[in-house]
Chains A and B, each alone.
Chain A
Amino acid sequence: MAETILDFKNVCFSWKNSGRELLNLPELLVKQHDHVFLQGPSGSGKSTLLALVGGILVSESGTLKVLGTEIKSLSSSARDSFRVDHIGFIFQLFNLLPYLSIEENVILPLSFSKIRSKRAGRTKIDQVKEAHRLLKALGLGEQLAEKSPVTELSVGQQQRVAAARALIGNPELIIADEPTSALDADLRHSFLDLLFSECKKAGSTLLFVSHDSSLSELFKRKISMDEINNKVN
């Protein structure tokens, strides 16, 4: 019996001042090891959904459990640590801190999360080794050896560093928010292949968000935002 990773029930969210409803989600369930493709045009509530899962925003009604924990019941600082403990994020662009090296960018979440830090390795050296392993697996061995500054990496390489950062310490959930939209078509597929295989190795569930439906056939499960979101316009 696979564990439930995400469990939405009647979750509503609207901006307090405008009163406009952004999200009304009667039900959404994501099980462990699922690779979910969440598709929807901009304005369909994707970003709101991710912010709710990450604990940046809090829903006003309904229940949202991440790994069985009701997000709403946590304090804001507990949500911050819950986020880093259990979720790895990859964004569309600008994922890396320009002043850190490649490996420092990868191990960044470990300094904020004891759980992931422990999983990545007992000592600092082990953790760096794990970062190197991930980077090599993602095809960045050369850049690592050359100690290239992150600002000199191509967009595709930067996204792979971001993937390594999301994966380090094996968080239960990886959320990828349009990570491939800045990449060329053939790069997209190779990036996804790498992401899938690393998610599998880490035992992480993947929630992949994109407006690009051409990628959807690579996923076992597809969800369209328009179908699940009952927001009233």
Chain B
Amino acid sequence: MVNLFIRSLWNRRGTALLTIFSISVSVTLLLGVENIRKGVRTSFSSAVSGTDIIVGARGGSLQLLLYSIFRIGNAPNNLSWESYIEFNNDKRVKWTIPISLGDSHRGFRVLGTNQNYFKYFRYGSKKKLGFSKGKSFSKLFDAVIGSEVARNLNYQLNEDIIIAHGTGNKSFLKHDDRPFKVVGILRPTGTPVDQTVHVSLEGITAMHIDWESGAPPMEGESLSSEDILKRDLKSEEITSFLIGLKSKIHVFGLQREINTYKEEPLSAIMPGVALQELWNILRTAETGLRVISWFVLFTGLLGMLTALLSGLNERRREMAILRSVGAGPSTISFLLIFEAVFLTFTGILFGLCFLYITLFVSRPLLETYFGLFLPINPPSFNDLFLLGGIILAAMFMGIIPAFKAYRQSLVDGMTIRL
């Protein structure tokens, strides 16, 4: 019986393969969308952890989260060093990490900070940053680069890099008079840290010394690096800062205080809350994608139904012969349901193969171009449930041709009336 089924299907392998292919493509799409959705979420959620409050100039909370953590977009304004020191010295605060943005190196953002960054910044499940090579910056023109920067630009330690003013890839204004030297390369984290060039706050100030309102100094007026070293390089402004508290109890109190700070208009956000806001925005897009992939799956199953139904007429002879050798109408209809389930099941298996191949191939690309780190996991319980549902749906769809075949073989009996 099984042999018969396989041989019969093999005889119609062209249509069968197309059906399997279309089902596998839709399964790949369905699970792929699900995977990317989860990947995006974990990627975003793991970018920052252990930080209680993010502070920036007054603006939208999502915007603040995006530019301070994900290096997406720009800050509307800076905040003063005095404000930073004020909250840094607050007795409820355990640590702060200052962040100064605005420059870039060949498309990668440059972030000015201090040693706290390497000491207190956490990502993923409270993981600390580590060095794969070298060490943290100690001199004025030292830089620490993320793993992706190193990989992508093929940088080694002691490489001289020139930082461009502004954040575009093709910035015309370059701080080429003050090159930085790579002293450390961070271990991969799967977060935006990998794509960041870290320098000291003083380094940022030094780069911009004698720049007037965002324009480089005139010819001959620029100071030599030796002169700069003699200057007082205290920062006047930073872009934002992260706060870790001694106790979570103070989160709301401090947040309110910062938001109502008299000296300067500031915004304080909790990363989790801002992420939630992000999910709400993304949800529409996610739903859209999911609906599309469901429709693709539906089309795939419908294609199978069409193939089975249109094949019935050509298979009347086959069914009449089977009836003459003792197959009952129920056996024949069972064959059709089984065929639907078999095709779908095979389609799902192929789909899973496609999916994992695609994930493996696209992972480095997604990581490089979108900073999106897709975790490759075996299908979750949820996925399996979904796939089980698809097989069930196929079974129900198989009932339609099966019923038709049942009626047909009752009427036809052993002789075909064509």
Contacts and interface: CB of A to CB of B under 8 A. Distances in A.
A177 B325 CA distance: 15
Interface stretch (B205-213, B219-227, B264-272, B315-323): B315-323
A113 B326 contact: yes
Contacts of A111: 1, 4
Nearest to B329: A76
Contact of B326 (A47, A99, A100, A109): A109
B323 A56 contact: yes
A84 B322 CA distance: 10
A54 B414 contact: yes
A89 B330 contact: no
Contacts, number: 64
Contacts of B325: 84, 89, 108-109, 112, 165
Contacts of A77: 328, 330
B326 A83 contact: yes
Interface in A50-102: 50-51, 54, 56-57, 76-77, 80-81, 83-85, 89, 91, 94-100
B415 interface: yes
A106 to B, nearest CB: 11
Interface string B282-299: 000000000000000000
Interface string B1-29: 10010011011000000000000000000
Most-contacted residue by chain B among A56, A77, A81, A89 (CB, 10 A): A56
B245 to A, nearest CB: 74
B318 A51 contact: no
B365 interface: no
Contact of A80 (B4, B8, B327): B327
B416 interface: yes
Interface residues of A, number: 30
B152 to A, nearest CB: 55
B100 to A, nearest CB: 73
Contact of A94 (B4, B317, B331): B317
A96 B4 contact: no
Interface of A: 47, 50-51, 54, 56-57, 76-77, 80-81, 83-85, 89, 91, 94-100, 104, 108-109, 111-113, 165, 177
B328 A80 contact: yes
Given A84-B325, A89-B324, A112-B326, A98 B11 contact: yes
Most-contacted residue by chain A among B4, B320, B326 (CB, 10 A): B326
Given A56-B323, A111-B1, 8 more contacts: A47-B415, A51-B413, A76-B328, A91-B324, A97-B8, A104-B7, A108-B321, A112-B325
Most-contacted residue by chain B among A80, A109, A113 (CB, 10 A): A80
B321 to A, nearest CB: 6
A96 B10 CA distance: 16
Contacts of B7: 97, 99-100, 104
A97 B327 contact: no
A223 B3 CA distance: 41
B194 to A, nearest CB: 56
A54 B413 contact: yes
13 contacts: A54-B324, A80-B328, A84-B326, A85-B326, A94-B416, A96-B321, A98-B11, A100-B7, A109-B325, A111-B1, A111-B4, A165-B325, A177-B415
Nearest to A95: B321
Contacts of A104: 7
A150 to B, nearest CB: 11
For the complex of A and B, list the 3 residue pairs with the smallest distance between their C-beta atoms, beginning with the closest: A84-B326, A99-B11, A112-B326
A99 B8 contact: yes
B132 to A, nearest CB: 60
A91 to B, nearest CB: 6
Contacts of B10: 99
A177 B413 CA distance: 13
A91 B413 contact: no
A85 B328 CA distance: 13
Contact of B413 (A56, A81, A84): A56
A150 B372 CA distance: 57
Given A76-B328, A80-B328, A99-B10, A56 B414 contact: yes
Nearest to B328: A80
A70 B323 CA distance: 20
B334 to A, nearest CB: 12
A91 B4 contact: no
A213 to B, nearest CB: 21
A50 B415 CA distance: 10
Contacts of A112: 325-327
A56 B414 CA distance: 8
Interface string B97-130: 0000000000000000000000000000000000
A112 B321 CA distance: 12
A158 B185 CA distance: 78
Most-contacted residue by chain B among A57, A112, A165 (CB, 10 A): A112
A129 to B, nearest CB: 19
Contacts of A80: 323, 326-328, 331
B82 to A, nearest CB: 86
A76 to B, nearest CB: 7
B416 to A, nearest CB: 7
